[in-house]
Amino acid sequence: MTVDAVRVELGARAYEVRIGPGLIARAGSEIAPLLRRPKVAILTDETVAGLHLDPFRQALAEAGIASSALALPAGEATKGWPQFARAVEWLLEEKVERRDVVVALGGGVIGDLAGFAAAVLRRGVRFVQVPTTLLAQVDSSVGGKTGINTAQGKNLVGAFHQPSLVLADIGVLETLPPRDFRAGYGEVVKYGLLGDVDFYEWLEEAGPRLATDAEARQRAVRRSVEMKAEIVARDETEEGDRALLNLGHTFCHALEKATGYSDRLLHGEGVAIGCALAFELSQRLGLCAQEAPSRLRAHLRAMGMKVDLRDIPGDLPSAEALLALMAQDKKVVDGKLRFILARGIGQAFVADDVPGDVVHTLLEDAIASR
């Protein structure tokens, strides 16, 4: 299998996303052209460090690149102020200079946190994403949204800071636990749902074998990245169409906050539930036929995904409380919620004028069915 390259066309800040097997083993030669001196600082998490840090550092050493590494605790709870401060302090102690490169080796938590650290360190240093989860390969490593969660909500503090290079080694996904693989699939299916019905139909057939079939997995990563790169290139800072990538996320982020950014609900699981709710909302508003949400739910179930609020263990707040959490969403304009809705599979659009009572009833019904 060969390595695919997708370019994110952002003028002077354009970069490549390289996707394929064996990229960790050749990380040294991939990263070396970016370096002014042969030294990098790596941010990773403890689980990834145990599995992939030594081979990664070895590959850098073979190209004459020295490295130091900080491994943070694994999991979403890391993506907050305390570990962010720790990472920034460590980079300063390591004397990372303005012209150096920080490497994010890990899933979306590490990529978002390390990218934000790179954005603010000495007012901005370059960084390279080496995504090790399906979710990070198809979504979080591309597009430059970086940041952390706060007590008020998800991703509320951050910066747009594009990586200089993304190395998505599809081989590292072999060690990913099945639950994290399925969570990543939530973002993969999002791409088909938001804008490519052919991709969605291919996923209905190929989805179940992505974990075991490397060729199909590479195709899924490549198509997702192509779609994200195209959207980001035309709307880097989400003035318009980039919001399509937020399909399912208004619901998802409120549910993640309500479950305390814990193992009760992973981000990608929340995306799948959020997409199902967004299609249900679209149907209730008369925008799409019942066939669309029914077909989506059947596919998510066939993939072993969480689909309904009843799939989230433990208590959930009321519909009113969830709506209040949604008010922190970054898409809110003049205090009004905006949603990504759909006229059918592959036909999403940004809606500004969604009646609050319909959303409220939808949430009440979803909670009542638990």
Ligand X SMILES: NC(=O)c1ccc[n+]([C@@H]2O[C@H](COP(=O)([O-])OP(=O)(O)OC[C@H]3O[C@@H](n4cnc5c(N)ncnc54)[C@H](O)[C@@H]3O)[C@@H](O)[C@H]2O)c1
330 is an interface residue for ligand LNCXM5UN by CB under 6 A: yes
Whether 249 is catalytic is yes
Considering only CA atoms, which of 136, 147, 118, 119 is closest in space to residue 43? 118
110 is an interface residue for ligand X by CB under 6 A: yes
Among the residue ranges 43-51, 92-100, 159-167, 213-221, the one whose residues contact ligand X (CB under 6 A): 43-51
- Out of 18, 39, 79, 217, the only residue in the binding site for ligand X (CB under 6 A) is 79
The encoded tokens of residue 194 equal 């938001």
Min CB(369)–ligand LNCXM5UN separation in Å: 26
Letters for 217-246 (x = contact with ligand LNCXM5UN by CB under 6 A, - = none) are: ---------------------x---x--xx
CA distance 255 to 15: 33
CA distance 184 to 308: 17
Which lies closer to ligand LNCXM5UN via its Cβ, residue 188 or residue 211? 188
Whether 18 is catalytic is no
Whether 123 is catalytic is yes
- Out of 39, 249, 297, 299, the only residue in the binding site for ligand LNCXM5UN (CB under 6 A) is 249
Min CB(200)–ligand X separation in Å: 19
Whether 190 is catalytic is no
Q: Is 361 annotated as a binding residue?
A: no
- Out of 180, 204, 236, 238, the only residue in the binding site for ligand X (CB under 6 A) is 180
- Out of 17, 20, 27, 45, the only residue in the binding site for ligand X (CB under 6 A) is 45
Q: Scan residues 114-173 and list those touching ligand LNCXM5UN (CB under 6 A).
A: 139, 143, 145, 155
CA distance 255 to 236: 26
Which lies closer to ligand X via its Cβ, residue 268 or residue 293? 268
204 is an interface residue for ligand X by CB under 6 A: no
Q: Which residue's C-beta sits nearest to ligand LNCXM5UN? A: 155
From 30, 76, 187, 236, the catalytic residue: 187
Q: Is 249 annotated as a binding residue?
A: yes
Q: Scan residues 19-38 and list those touching ligand LNCXM5UN (CB under 6 A).
A: none
Radius of gyration of the chain (CA): 20
226 is an interface residue for ligand X by CB under 6 A: no
Residue 249: which of ligand X, ligand LNCXM5UN, none does it interact with, CB under 5 to 8 A by kind?
ligand LNCXM5UN
Which lies closer to ligand X via its Cβ, residue 10 or residue 51? 51
Q: How many CB atoms lie within 10 A of CB 350?
A: 16
CA distance 58 to 26: 10
Which lies closer to ligand X via its Cβ, residue 116 or residue 200? 116
Among the residue ranges 9-17, 40-48, 297-305, 309-317, the one whose residues contact ligand X (CB under 6 A): 40-48
| Known binding-site residue numbers for Zn(2+) | 187, 249, 267
Which residues have a catalytic role annotated?
Answer: 123, 145, 187, 228, 238, 242, 246, 249, 253, 267
| Known binding-site residue numbers for NAD(+) | 108-112, 132-133, 145, 154
